[in-house]
Amino acid sequence: MMLSEIIPSHRLARMLMRGVRTVLDYLGFDHDPTLDQVVYVAVIVVMAVALGWLTRVAVLWGARKFVSLRKSAMAENMLKQKVLLHCSHILPPLAMLALIPLALRYGTELRSFCVSALQIYLVITIAIAVNAIVGFVWRIYDARQNTRNLPLKGILNTMQGIVWLVAVIIAVSIALDKSPVVLLTGLGAFAAALMLVFKDSILGFVAGIQLAQNNMLHVGDWIVVPSTPANGVVLDMSLTTVKVQNFDNTIVTLPPYTLVSSSFQNWRGMKDSGARRIMRSILVETNSVVPVTPESTAAIAAKLPILKTFVEKAAATPVFDPGLAVVNGTVDTNLGLLRAYLCEYILSRPEFDHTEQLLVRTLSPTSCGIPLEIYCFTSTTAWTAYEAIQSALFEHIAAVAPLFGLKLFNYTGTLDNERIEVVDDVPKPEVQS
């Protein structure tokens, strides 16, 4: 096929062709129609590429100038996240499509191929631009204080996936010269296969909506998923993956649908409340629990002054007084006095939260003694401070228990004050050789 058959013959094309011949004659090239036509097509292609590039540069320069004059935070973020840069990629294929009539005659196969290729290129650049805009809008919304940690990234990924799906359908319809409706009708036959391929994405999208709607999970939450090794802080949530950093700095990934289909523990409520629970017991030997007399009670109160108020109120009120229920103890036994003392001690210390539930109680006796359980809350949720407060509390219990005549259970593995001697006086049989 000769180039003359595909080059258009309208007036502007003839003017450009004459200009090409003039330039070639000026440069000393021999008059050759084929060379003239090749150079003409090459000039048009270069003009199209240059026009598209120059238009893109001019738009970006104008946008940056506008941002520098307006000094808008949103506009500056658009430049930083390269939203305008992605959108400017639409201009080169538009310029090329505009100059196609100057290079190729209508109805030729080469022109149809070039137009289809440029249209597919344009669809791809539009998809990139739309996804850039969607991502920019999501980042603005995600930066808000009330939505900062919501699991919205899965919804963003779904929207971007839909944009690319539409772009692929349009691009294939252009390449095959078929209507997108025909392709969508054909895709219905592959619905089952598509659902199988995109199963994780579909389940992740549904799970992300449920997690966001019910405010179940935020980025930065400490979660524990019993069926997995996940026990740490949520780093990221996407359409198909929840990334959790455990406290040993290992990373665990799990699908979002796991958090919806099974139970998990979220410690965000503890963090938001500012108080963390202590629920630990210590064993008291049963034979050390004895009744106390007013004299022994007064002696203990003299050594531990914070117990004096409770002892005086309890002595003046022989019947049950609801006002004393906050301090969970009695003046009947040394263990009851210890319970009262621990309540008074916790209420007097600033490291404990006095607005939360406080209990010092005995549990069901065991063969090792009577469990004395302390149920209270610290005024901090920091791990190191919490462990320090809890350790100091039980060290204090171990130190003051002897003042009440109580013994804490200590398993030694041997019998005290008793020695067992085993005498083996049975003759051993001789080994026959």
Q: Do 253 and 281 belong to one domain?
A: no
Q: Do 10 and 36 belong to one domain?
A: yes
Asked whether residue 424 is assigned to any structural domain, the reply reads no
Asked whether residue 284 is assigned to any structural domain, the reply reads yes
Q: Do 390 and 283 belong to one domain?
A: yes
Which residue among 92, 116, 143 closes a domain? 143
Asked whether residue 57 is assigned to any structural domain, the reply reads yes
Q: Do 317 and 381 belong to one domain?
A: yes
Which residue among 79, 109, 143 closes a domain? 143
pLDDT-derived band at 36, boundaries 50, 70, 90: low
The domain that holds 216 is classified in CATH as 2.30.30.60
Range of the domain at 99: 1-143
**Which residues fall within 8 angstroms of residue 99, CB to CB, at 6 or more apart?**
44, 47, 48, 51
The predicted-structure confidence for 42-101, as pLDDT tens digits, reads as follows: 777 777 778 777 877 887 787 777 777 766 666 667 766 777 777 777 877 887 777 666
Bigger pLDDT: 303 vs 50 = 303
Bigger pLDDT: 256 vs 41 = 256
Rounded to a whole number of angstroms, the distance between the first and last alpha carbons of the chain is: 110
Q: Do 251 and 159 belong to one domain?
A: yes
The predicted-structure confidence for 323-353, as pLDDT tens digits, reads as follows: 445 566 777 899 999 999 999 999 999 999 9
Which residue among 143, 176, 196 closes a domain? 143
pLDDT at 69: 74
pLDDT at 324: 45
CB 389 within 8 A of CB 275: no
pLDDT at 334: 92
Q: For residue 373, is pLDDT > 90? A: yes
pLDDT-derived band at 11, boundaries 50, 70, 90: low
Q: For residue 426, is pLDDT > 50? A: no
pLDDT-derived band at 1, boundaries 50, 70, 90: very low
Bigger pLDDT: 7 vs 249 = 249
E strands in 319-421? 359-362, 370-378
pTM of the model: 0.59
Total domain count, the chain: 3
Give percent of the chain above pLDDT 70. Answer: 73
Q: Do 136 and 159 belong to one domain?
A: no
For residues 194-214, give the mean pLDDT. 76
Q: Do 285 and 396 belong to one domain?
A: yes
Asked whether residue 236 is assigned to any structural domain, the reply reads yes
Q: Do 47 and 112 belong to one domain?
A: yes
pLDDT at 180: 78
Dihedral angle sign, alpha carbons of residues 292, 294, 298, 301: positive
DSSP state of 104: S
CB 110 within 8 A of CB 104: yes
Q: Do 40 and 114 belong to one domain?
A: yes
Asked whether residue 414 is assigned to any structural domain, the reply reads no
Asked whether residue 217 is assigned to any structural domain, the reply reads yes
* Half-sphere exposure in the Cβ direction for 168 (13 Å, CA): 8
Q: Do 161 and 139 belong to one domain?
A: no
Asked whether residue 431 is assigned to any structural domain, the reply reads no
CA dihedral 43, 48, 51, 52 (to 10 degrees): -150
- Strand, coil or helix: 404: helix
Taking phi over 0 as left and psi of -120 to 50 as alpha, with beta for the rest, 337 belongs to: alpha
Q: Do 138 and 1 belong to one domain?
A: yes
Distance CA 114, CA 122 (A): 12
Bigger pLDDT: 270 vs 21 = 270
Asked whether residue 426 is assigned to any structural domain, the reply reads no
For residues 97-107, give the mean pLDDT. 65
Q: For residue 252, is pLDDT > 80? A: yes
Q: Do 304 and 234 belong to one domain?
A: no
